[in-house]
């Protein structure tokens, strides 16, 4: 039995498709949106559409941006010889919050997962290898999550990079096995970065 009108039910269904949003949270969000002033709802809808239409991949590091290069890649203050490889833009943001890493990034947008049918060609590895051929990089820090998929991806990347002679390191195990970087506090992330090891 449906409790809400078709418009409310439709909004709840769309919100519940968002990651981490269950039916109760979706209903709570739907009622909040409905109770907001119309201009606020229009601003929210406009922001969503603007982001969808204008956000793209940074030409260099593959993170999400609304310009050709993201602010980190455009910055002259960053260490251009160091690249940290992360799974997604949320992991990049987690390390940026520490305020202690001053190199560049490369965002894979996933990790290798044979069980899910995700191979090396399905993530942004080709773009990373192109960067290593054209940029003067002395170290690649692999900061994928400490999951089976993250470890598989780290080992695959280290084997790809080894013939280039570029130093390859892995973040230390201050990050718990099975933990996602975006949910880990800055101190733990910093310890993991400082305790990285060569692969």
* Same structural domain, 86 and 40: no
* Same structural domain, 98 and 148: yes
**For residue 106, is pLDDT > 90?**
yes
In a domain, 179, yes or no: yes
In a domain, 59, yes or no: no
113-141: average pLDDT: 95
* Same structural domain, 128 and 175: yes
Domain holding 13: CATH number? Answer: 1.10.8.420
* Same structural domain, 29 and 101: no
Q: Can you give the pLDDT at residue 195?
A: 74
Please give the tally of structural domains in the chain. Answer: 2
Domain edge (last residue) among 30, 54, 78:
54
* Same structural domain, 14 and 96: no
Domain edge (last residue) among 16, 34, 54:
54
* Same structural domain, 177 and 86: yes
What percentage of residues in the chain have a pLDDT greater than 90? 76
pLDDT tens digits, residue range 147-168?
889 989 999 999 999 999 999 9
* Same structural domain, 82 and 150: yes
Q: What is the DSSP string of the chain?
A: ---S-HHHHHHHHHHHTSTT--HHHHHHHHHHHHHS-HHHHHHHHHHHHHHHHH-EE-TTT--EESSSS-HHHH-TTSEEEEEEEESSHHHHHHHHHHS---EEEEE-SS--BGGGTB-GGGTTHHHHHHHHHHS--SEEEE---SSHHHHHHHHHHHHHHGGGT-EEEE--TTSPTT--GGGS-HHHHHHHHHT-EE-
* Same structural domain, 78 and 120: yes
* Same structural domain, 73 and 146: yes
**For residue 177, is pLDDT > 60?**
yes
* Same structural domain, 89 and 49: no
Report the predicted TM-score, pTM, of the whole model to 2 decimal places: 0.78
Q: Can you give the pLDDT at residue 173?
A: 64
Q: Does 179 or 85 have the greater pLDDT score?
A: 85
In a domain, 88, yes or no: yes
Residue 91 contacts by C-beta under 8 Å, 6 or more apart in sequence? 107, 143, 145, 180, 181, 182
Q: Which residue has tokens 């590091």?
A: 61
In a domain, 76, yes or no: yes
**For residue 131, is pLDDT > 90?**
yes
With cut-offs at 50, 70 and 90, classify the pLDDT of residue 1. Answer: very low
Domain holding 155: CATH number? Answer: 3.40.1360.10
Q: Can you give the pLDDT at residue 3?
A: 66
pLDDT averaged over every residue in the chain = 91
In a domain, 1, yes or no: no
Domain with 84 in it: 64-198
13-17, 140-144, 181-185: which has the minimum mean pLDDT? 181-185
* Same structural domain, 45 and 111: no
In a domain, 163, yes or no: yes
* Same structural domain, 36 and 112: no
Q: Does 199 or 103 have the greater pLDDT score?
A: 103
Q: Can you give the pLDDT at residue 193?
A: 81
18-25: average pLDDT: 92
Q: Can you give the pLDDT at residue 189?
A: 79
With cut-offs at 50, 70 and 90, classify the pLDDT of residue 95. Answer: very high
């Amino acid at each position: 039995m449906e409790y809400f009108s078709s418009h409310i039910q439709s909004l709840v269904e769309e919100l519940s498709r968002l990651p981490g949003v269950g039916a109760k949270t979706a209903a709570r969000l739907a009622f909040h949106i409905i109770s907001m002033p119309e201009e606020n709802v229009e601003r929210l809808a406009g922001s969503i559409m603007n982001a969808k239409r204008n956000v793209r991949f940074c030409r260099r590091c593959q993170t999400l941006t609304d310009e050709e290069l993201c602010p980190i890649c455009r910055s002259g203050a960053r260490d251009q010889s160091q690249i940290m490889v992360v799974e997604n833009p949320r992991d990049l943001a987690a390390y940026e919050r520490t305020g202690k890493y001053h190199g560049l990034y490369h965002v894979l947008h996933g990790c290798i997962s044979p069980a899910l049918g995700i191979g090396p060609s399905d993530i942004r590895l080709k773009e990373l290898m192109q960067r290593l051929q054209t940029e003067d990089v002395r170290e690649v820090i692999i900061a994928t999550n400490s999951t089976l998929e993250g470890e598989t991806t780290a080992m695959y990347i280290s084997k790809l990079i080894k013939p280039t002679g570029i130093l390859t390191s892995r973040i230390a195990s201050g990050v718990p096995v099975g933990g996602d970087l975006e949910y880990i506090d800055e101190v733990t992330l910093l310890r993991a970065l400082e305790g990285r090891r060569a692969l």
